[in-house]
Structure 1
């Protein structure tokens, strides 16, 4: 990992919380000139510390209020099945995250859908037709206690 100082860390913390801060506002908060601040941000982006900027949207307002986690167990754990599964999951707009995991199952899928009927359609049209599916277990989220993408900096 490349070395960053405390000012870089402060810039990263501020951008992570408020990605729309203007360079002038950011410079004031880190006590640097706007030029020095802009150069630091450019370097942090260039070196891969900042991967991009986005807005957090309301799932409920967009008709995606049901969050589900699906454990997926495959019948074969071969490279061709892994690749086909990964490609199929990447095509689904309902899937927010998909992770290959170690343990009692192969993948953990995080999806957002409109409700239980939409989840049933997602399961039967997206998950179950995926290559190599042996078994699934679904966990519908009743309450999001904490949801964050912030990293400690």
Structure 2
């Protein structure tokens, strides 16, 4: 993968803050002509630096929602069992993030559901039904003090 320079980093910083910027606006902010800026954005996308562009919604505007962090402890440490669990997580829309971690816990999930009934149904489908899940611990978020998606660029 090609190295990126300071202009590329600046483009990435700006797009992380507001991907709705037009190419003309972005070019002006980073000090390039619009064609040169567009060429760089295309290259950054083709090289995989820009994985996708999304719209972040404000969950508080969408009605009641529970945010939970779930620690999952597996019974056996076998790659194929972990892969099967990850595939089931991939197919579960309520799981917004999944991290395989080191230490006492095997996976950390970030989950969003409308209520406890929906969370219990998720547990039945994903956790209780998997014989390799030894136990899990649920932490319910009382409020979100920080949520950031931007990656710091040197």
Q: TM-score, normalised by structure 2?
A: 0.92
C-alpha deviation, 1:124, in angstroms: 2.3
Instruction: Work out whether residues 16 and 150 of structure 1, in 8 Å CA contact, stay in contact via their aligned partners in 2.
Output: yes
CA–CA distance in structure 1, aligned partners of residues 64 and 152 of structure 2: 28
Partner residue in 1 for 2:18: 18
C-alpha deviation, 1:47, in angstroms: 1.5
Partner residue in 2 for 1:67: 67
CA–CA distance in structure 1, aligned partners of residues 72 and 15 of structure 2: 35
**5+ residue gaps, structure 2:** none
Give the CA RMSD over aligned residues. 1.5
- Structure 1 residues 45 and 106, CA gap change in structure 2 (3 angstroms): same
CA–CA distance in structure 2, aligned partners of residues 37 and 107 of structure 1: 40
Partner residue in 2 for 1:136: 136
- Structure 1 residues 152 and 93, CA gap change in structure 2 (3 angstroms): same
CA–CA distance in structure 1, aligned partners of residues 119 and 60 of structure 2: 15
CA–CA distance in structure 2, aligned partners of residues 19 and 104 of structure 1: 38
C-alpha deviation, 1:50, in angstroms: 0.8
Deviations 1:68-87 (A, max 9, x none): 01111111111221121111
Partner residue in 2 for 1:38: 38
C-alpha deviation, 1:131, in angstroms: 4.2
Q: TM-score, normalised by structure 1?
A: 0.92
CA–CA distance in structure 1, aligned partners of residues 12 and 79 of structure 2: 37
Matched, 1:27 2:27: yes
Instruction: Work out whether residues 75 and 134 of structure 1, in 8 Å CA contact, stay in contact via their aligned partners in 2.
Output: yes
Please give the residue correspondences for 1:55-94 in structure 2 after superposition, counting only pairs within 5 Å.
55-63=55-63, 65-94=65-94
